[in-house]
């Protein structure tokens, strides 16, 4: 089966959720899935669920907080470690679906150079489906992708003071 490059971006809710849904679908079909989450750390509800599936593997490379202003050296180092691990996973070719969650945002925040995202596409073997999520996808990445979905926020209850809820947003 040929693998393609998918990008989920935009200011609307649902980019990670869409990629997790794809991971579950792939798992149900017997495919092997590897997810690297940039800029995230902690036991989000989806991590609890995914750990129950034998053919989905998740690693996190983040400080567990939003990058504010200039990224710290520690945040940069974690991102670099995640990127190098992602390259190893893609080059090994053992997984059918590889998800680089929040990689676009890591690029947008200055943690990951745009050329590194393009490199992931360059090294992707033909059989791997690569999904790159996060706001602010670089135009060059969207141009190279086979599928781009932009989540658009029309209305959001955050604007009414609703905080992230366990099992829904986190």
The answer to whether position 166 is within a domain reads no
* Domain CATH code at residue 148: 3.40.50.300
Q: Is the pLDDT of residue 63 over 80?
A: no
Q: What percent of the chain stands above pLDDT 70?
A: 96
Using one digit for the tens of pLDDT, what is the confidence trace for 40-61? 777 778 888 999 999 999 999 9
The answer to whether position 89 is within a domain reads yes
What is the model's pTM? Answer: 0.92
Tokens of 135: 């706001």
For the chain, how many structural domains are there in total? 1
Using the structure block, give the residue that is written with the tokens 């590194």: 116
DSSP-derived 3-state class of residue 121:
helix
pLDDT at 68: 67
Lowest mean pLDDT among 43-47, 95-99, 141-145, 150-154: 43-47
Spacing of C-alpha 93 from chain mean position = 18
The answer to whether position 165 is within a domain reads no
Instruction: Provide the 8-state DSSP code for 59.
Output: E
The answer to whether position 119 is within a domain reads yes
pLDDT at 146: 98
DSSP-derived 3-state class of residue 47:
helix
Domain that holds residue 70: 5-160
In b/e form, how buried is each residue of 64-101, taking b as 16+ CB within 10 angstroms? Answer: eeebeeebeeebbebbeebbeebeebbeeeebbbbbbb
The answer to whether position 167 is within a domain reads no
pLDDT at 169: 72
């Amino acid at each position: 089966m040929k693998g393609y490059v998918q990008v989920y971006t935009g200011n609307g809710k649902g980019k990670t959720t869409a990629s997790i849904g794809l991971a579950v679908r792939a798992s149900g079909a017997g495919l092997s899935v590897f997810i690297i989450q940039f800029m995230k750390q902690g036991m989000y509800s989806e991590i609890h669920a995914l750990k129950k599936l034998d053919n989905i593997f998740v690693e996190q490379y983040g400080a567990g907080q939003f990058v504010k202003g200039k990224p710290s050296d520690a945040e940069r180092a974690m991102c670099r470690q995640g990127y190098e691990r992602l390259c190893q996973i893609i080059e090994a070719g053992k997984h059918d679906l590889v998800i680089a969650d929040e990689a676009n945002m890591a690029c947008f925040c200055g943690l990951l150079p745009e050329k590194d995202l393009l490199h992931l596409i360059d090294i992707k073997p033909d059989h791997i489906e690569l999904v790159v999520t996060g706001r602010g996808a670089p135009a060059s990445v969207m141009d190279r992708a086979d599928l781009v979905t932009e989540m658009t926020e029309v209305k959001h209850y955050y604007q009414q003071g609703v905080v992230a809820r366990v099992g829904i947003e986190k």
